[in-house]
A = this chain, B = another copy of it.
């Protein structure tokens, strides 16, 4: 117990009374600063590299959980892989006889190859960058921090005993012996801390080569992506040409004679620049478009013309809505309008 109160006594005396304190060498302090900076830099780099490899935090968390239960089959969903799957599915639904369908399938397959290269990047960076650096934090850095913590505690004990020794002025062999042991312990911890930090800082070659492994893995990934995409660009240029030179068939209907009204009478050419249905200006948040003419037959019903903008204000039942059009309001059948 005495030991503990001695340290508290010394810590308070240092803070309140500016009691004398054994100072550590400047070189030691500089080692401490660099060791702390190394720990912080590595911790942050690990964190950001993990986000770089698996940028979707939700998918990353899910991956980490499933990996715990089933290491073999769990896989982080790479964005290129998801894109590739979607394109292949979409392309097949359109049909590979169509140029667009075919293009989607071949682009999708290339994206999946890039996703595989990204899986390889992930595995490589795990093995040669993340795992060794995590080990380094957990062992070398943690151990030296343990000794540094102990050093500070032993310094307090030593300084307390030095201060006490000066007080009396009378020779006290027991106190002298205690002081000698306290100093010895303090020196021991300082040596362990010093050597540990020196070893960490001088062995930076390991961390530099882990950083190099990370860069090499990235380079390999991007090289693979370039290879895959270069080949894809060649295949795709054939499809681009085939699509561009596709003969346009005559539109099935040359010109449509409008029935009864003129709305929607624009003809289609072979190009996609056919006219859009006329859209009325709308300002409300519930603007709908009239699909057909509606003539009020009973009081309270709202008359409108096809193409008119209707502002819906409520619903009567499953068939009838309430709303306004051209300054009039009333009810009308739900099927007569569509969302604008």
Contact = CB atoms under 8 A, between A and B. Distances in A.
14 contacts: A1-B333, A4-B294, A34-B95, A45-B87, A45-B90, A52-B80, A99-B205, A107-B211, A147-B277, A150-B264, A153-B335, A195-B252, A216-B233, A218-B229
Interface in A193-230: 194-196, 198-209, 211-212, 214-216, 218-219, 222-223, 225-226, 229-230
B338 A268 contact: no
Closest CB pairs A-B (n = 9): A41-B90, A195-B268, A184-B259, A205-B243, A100-B204, A191-B253, A55-B55, A52-B79, A37-B93
Interface in A236-286: 236-237, 239-240, 243-244, 246, 248-249, 251-253, 256-260, 264, 267-272, 274, 276-277
A208 B103 CA distance: 6
Contacts of A191: 252-253, 256
Nearest to A185: B259
Number of identical protomers: 2
A124 interface: no
Interface string A283-299: 00000000110111110
Interface residues of A, number: 129
Given A48-B86, A91-B41, A139-B276, A212 B192 contact: no
A203 B253 contact: no
A117 to B, nearest CB: 10
